[in-house]
Chains A and B, each alone.
Chain A
């Protein structure tokens, strides 16, 4: 039976997906573990902890909650919050070493962009096993492990099903509607219900219909991703390089700055907005209600709607490609000479981009890559690296050192 806490945390977590929600770090006992029971690790995002606990129900094991500043595993590991230090710390200080005789710990696969299995091994003696992407697969995963098999492709893959898309929609709609509700309540009470309704309908519509049009966009504009919120990595996107862009500049974009990931106000929407406002003028004249305050209020409401529509909602998801920022595309490259075919990249890639053929890795699905860097971070031979469209190369050392952040300092530092 999931506890009341499970439901509570899930509801709060869903409404406030974009915000950290820290849980206590340290050791949790599940069932009646003994000295050979399995050890799992997760981050200290309260929603993750509850979900993992629920998945572990009925098992006898230990759960280690590592410090990720209250952010979910994927965002925290790509954003530098869930790092080698978080893992080393909980392994050494939680007392787990006194409780079990073995030294095998199962990490969530999505932690692979932030925690280096090799470093954890060297510093603590613990051997890292990359578990499934989703907590609910843990029971099946432990069975597979016992049988001596490897995780199947399904367990390794991050998808973006309707339920997750709805969660993302709520993540945008809830805070946005609150702010808008407050503002309209102050300035224009009659519009309250309308604006709140609109701020829920727009994201819901955008997210539900993604699969219908995402193919069209990506075909044309290249493979790009802005990440944001508790699904992707924290507003993370490798920033543009300092050099002027080679080739055709992005056409007709009036971005706020070239760093802006979230807003992309194109001329089209500006013109539409102006047309709308020009329409309000004769309409209110005819209706005899024209006043400056009416214009201002209509202006505000329609402007906030335009902003909402123009947030790069799709680019804020982990797997759909943003229509913007073509220039920031990074591509995973393989140095075949170095590769030993160990298969670690296959094991950690959340988009199943790799396969092993003839004892070498082959990049078979680069169009699915979301540039999470997990494969590069984990490759024991440094056989993988990023290349930018401008011909810059980001080597594994740089990628391990500079985690992503809003301003994309990685590409800058690496350059």
Chain B
């Protein structure tokens, strides 16, 4: 379903309205579940924060959030949303949005975050980028800290994969025609996260296995 995201991203102004329709309302509860792991005072890195929905939700819980994204237009909306939100001014100051890609994570210092989150962003990264990001996150997240991911995934079950491909195909074509880009879904993200040295604590999938939420912990010792 999330192929359409590319269309939304190409016009960030329409992104928010579209994203919840496109994810069939699945993304909002996913934000809530992710945010529920974030406690007051925690330092959180939100990777590919987009229009900042999740970042702001976590800030409302008292977290110190840095949202990074490569799309300046999306970040502009995130900043505007933050300004207009009704959370107390002193909490707003705890949020920082910066234009930065995952490739620049090597400039972030070791152990500087209690948790990292990323929703619907890993599926837009290349394999090289995913490997690099996970390796950097192992360094950046404090030992014992959390990695929380929610993204579109390729179903493991063959029948489901077939049905999924069938449903996706027309959307892929429409997306391609409008934006000239395609999105891929993640294949076995939990496995990759584990291979990077994280301890995966829970994997939560929808019935179609096309949307996965992963909670992992950085065991620390490299």
Contacts and interface: CB of A to CB of B under 8 A. Distances in A.
Given A69-B181, A89-B102, A25 B132 contact: no
Contact of B182 (A22, A26, A91, A94): A22
Contact of B103 (A19, A22, A70, A92): A92
A140 interface: no
Contacts of B127: 26
B72 A25 contact: no
Contacts of B180: 19-20, 69-71
Given A25-B126, A26-B126, A70-B181, A123 B132 contact: no
A95 interface: yes
B42 interface: no
Contacts of B109: none
Nearest to A19: B180
B195 interface: no
A94 B129 CA distance: 8
Interface in B158-202: 176, 180-182
B101 interface: yes
Nearest to A25: B126
B89 interface: no
Interface in A55-111: 67, 69-71, 83, 85, 88-95
B213 to A, nearest CB: 25
B106 A92 contact: yes
A292 B17 CA distance: 46
Contacts of B132: 92-93
Contacts of A69: 180-181
B58 to A, nearest CB: 24
Contacts of B176: 20
Given A25-B128, A401-B72, A93 B182 contact: no
Contacts of B104: 88, 92, 123
B70 interface: yes
Contacts of B181: 20, 22, 69-70
Nearest to B130: A93
A89 B103 contact: yes
A72 to B, nearest CB: 12
B131 interface: yes
- Determine which residue in A25, A26, A85, A123 has the highest number of CB atoms from chain B within 10 A of its CB, and name it: A85
Interface string B87-123: 0000000000000011110110000000000000000
A271 B110 CA distance: 72
A85 B129 contact: no
A85 B70 contact: yes
B8 to A, nearest CB: 15
Contact of A88 (B72, B101, B131): B101
Contacts of A26: 126-128
A365 B98 CA distance: 39
Contacts of A67: 126
Interface in A273-332: none
A25 B106 CA distance: 20
A395 to B, nearest CB: 17
Nearest to B124: A67
Contacts of A94: 128
Nearest to A92: B103
Contacts of A19: 180
12 contacts: A20-B180, A26-B126, A67-B126, A85-B103, A88-B101, A88-B103, A89-B101, A90-B128, A92-B103, A93-B102, A93-B103, A123-B107
Interface of B: 70, 72, 101-104, 106-107, 126-129, 131-132, 176, 180-182
A-B complex: 4 closest residue pairs judged by Cβ atoms: A93-B132, A92-B103, A89-B103, A20-B180
